[in-house]
Amino acid sequence: MNRDQIKEQLKELFPHLKEKEAQVLADMGEDISVLVTRVLDNNISPPEFYLNELVRTNYPRTKISHSYNYPEVFRDKCTINMHIDVKGLRARATLLNNEAYELTKKAIGHTIKGARYHFSIEAEAKRKLAKEINRDAILVLMRKIVEDTGPVDLHGFTVEEAIAFMDDLLYFKKFTEIQLITGQKYNSSRIRPAMQEWFEINKFMCTEEGPCLLGKKKAFWLLEKDSRHRK
């Protein structure tokens, strides 16, 4: 495919692209899939070089690193205890949160200031411990997903955990298509619509297939659709 053909295909896929932008992309000499990703990431302009950068080459460069929500999950050397009882930890965390809720109710209804303070401090300590326990549990599930090559099973995740993890996973694996297991609609009333929204925000086409959601980057879906149409 020559540069003119690449330019025209990009303009078909992205009608908002200006003629100059499409030409700049085509002149980069990169694969069409790479160029599509550039447009999706709003990375259209070629890198700029300034004279002072060309002359001075020994100055220290600031390395910009991604801030993971769950950095332990993505380390080369796993430091997570993979043998813990995830369900048991979740149950303990739920119990602690319930106890914290009851203590908070006591604090609100008590007439003595010292007692209110005592109950509030105790409730906060239980909530903090529950949060730590929940994190230990979810790290195990996340690490298993990272090490596996199959569908991403989100059973056992809260909505907040699933969204944060998917943000991390997208940056780590840079996937263009993925299969999520969320369970049937009546069993996943919160997490399924949350993942459908996540796909939309991150520019994925999303289709339902039983207990699974299938996501594919919109640009690649359009490329496949265009290819089938041409045949």
Q: pLDDT, tens digit, for every residue of 112-146?
A: 989 989 999 999 999 999 999 999 999 999 999 99
- Per-residue pLDDT at 17: 72
Residues of the chain scoring pLDDT < 50: 48-57, 59, 61-64
Give the span between the Cα atoms of 26 and 21, in whole angstroms.
9
- Per-residue pLDDT at 218: 85
227 and 157 inside one domain = yes
Q: What is the DSSP pairing of strand 212-217 with strand 177-181? A: antiparallel
62 assigned to some structural domain = no
CB-facing half-sphere around the CA of 74: CA atoms within 13 A: 15
208 assigned to some structural domain = yes
- Per-residue pLDDT at 55: 47
Q: What is the SS3 assignment for 195?
A: helix
Whole-prediction pTM value? 0.68
Domain ends where: 115, 148, 181? 148
User: 46 lies in which domain range?
Assistant: 3-55
154 and 226 inside one domain = yes
Domain ends where: 124, 148, 172? 148
Number of folded domains that form the chain? 3
Domain ends where: 114, 148, 182? 148
Give the span between the Cα atoms of 18 and 3, in whole angstroms.
16
Give the span between the Cα atoms of 180 and 162, in whole angstroms.
11
Which one, of 12, 45, 11, 42, lies nearest residue 28 by Cα?
45
- Per-residue pLDDT at 163: 96
- Per-residue pLDDT at 83: 95
Q: Which residues of 84-94 are buried (b: 16+ CB within 10 A; e: fewer)?
A: eebeebbebbe
81 and 133 inside one domain = yes
60 assigned to some structural domain = no
17 assigned to some structural domain = yes
Task: Starting at the earlier edge strand, list the strands of the sheet with 177-181.
Answer: 152-153, 177-181, 212-217, 204-209
- Per-residue pLDDT at 72: 94
- Per-residue pLDDT at 59: 44
42 and 115 inside one domain = no
81 and 124 inside one domain = yes
Q: Check: CB of residue 207 under 8 Å from CB of residue 180.
A: no
Q: Which residues contact 221 (CB under 8 A, 6 or more apart)?
A: 205
174 and 209 inside one domain = yes
205 assigned to some structural domain = yes
Give the span between the Cα atoms of 139 and 143, in whole angstroms.
6
Question: Please, is 187 exposed, middle or buried when counting C-beta atoms within 10 Å of its C-beta (0-12, 13-18, 19+)?
Answer: exposed
